[in-house]
Amino acid sequence: MDSEIQITEEQRNWLSSLSPVEILDVYCEGILKTLEEEYVKAPIHINIERENITKEHQTLGISLVMTGVIAKLKVIGRYYSKINNMPQMNELDYGLKLFLNNLEQQYINKYFSEKQYINTRKLIIEYILDEVIENIKKFTFIGYEKIPHYDMMFLLHEFTYRSPVHQSIYNFQGEDIRRTVIGRIEITTINKYQDYRLNIENIENQLLNGIRDFAYNIKNIVNIIFVQKEVQYRLSILNELYFNFEHFLSVLLKTFKMNDETIGKKRISKKQAYLARVFDELDIKHHIDYSIISKEIENRCVESSSKYLELFQQDKKQTINLIDIFLKIIDMRNSLHSNGFANKDTNEFSIAKIHFNAVKKDEQFSSMAMHQLVALLVISSYTMELIIEKLSSIDEINGVKVPDIIIDEYVDNIHTLTCEENIQ
Per-residue pLDDT tens over the stretch 317-351: 999 999 999 999 999 998 887 777 888 888 899 99
Q: What is the C-alpha separation between 63 and 128, in angstroms, rounded?
A: 10
Residue 3's pLDDT is 45
Specify the 3-state DSSP secondary structure of 187.
Answer: helix
One-letter identity of residue 306? S
Residue 422's pLDDT is 53
Answer for the pair 81, 94: CB distance below 8 angstroms, yes or no: yes
382 HSE (CA, 13 A, CB side): 27
User: What residue ranges do the domains of the chain occupy?
Assistant: 9-128, 148-423
What Rg, from alpha-carbon coordinates, does the chain have?
A: 29
**Among the listed residues 9, 210, 190, 233, the one whose alpha carbon sits nearest the alpha carbon of residue 100:** 210
| Segments of the chain scoring below 50 in pLDDT | 1-3, 414-415, 417-419, 423-424
Burial class (CB in 10 A: 0-12, 13-18, 19+), 371: buried
Buried b (16+ CB within 10 A) or exposed e, 32-47: beebeeeeeeeeeeee
Pinpoint the alpha helices (H) of 256-321.
Answer: 274-282, 290-300, 306-311
Specify the 3-state DSSP secondary structure of 349.
Answer: strand
Q: What is the C-alpha separation between 213 and 13, in angstroms, rounded?
A: 29
Q: Which residues pair with 346 in a beta bridge?
A: 359
Residue 169's pLDDT is 66
Residue 346's pLDDT is 85
Residue 165's pLDDT is 82
Specify the 3-state DSSP secondary structure of 397.
Answer: strand
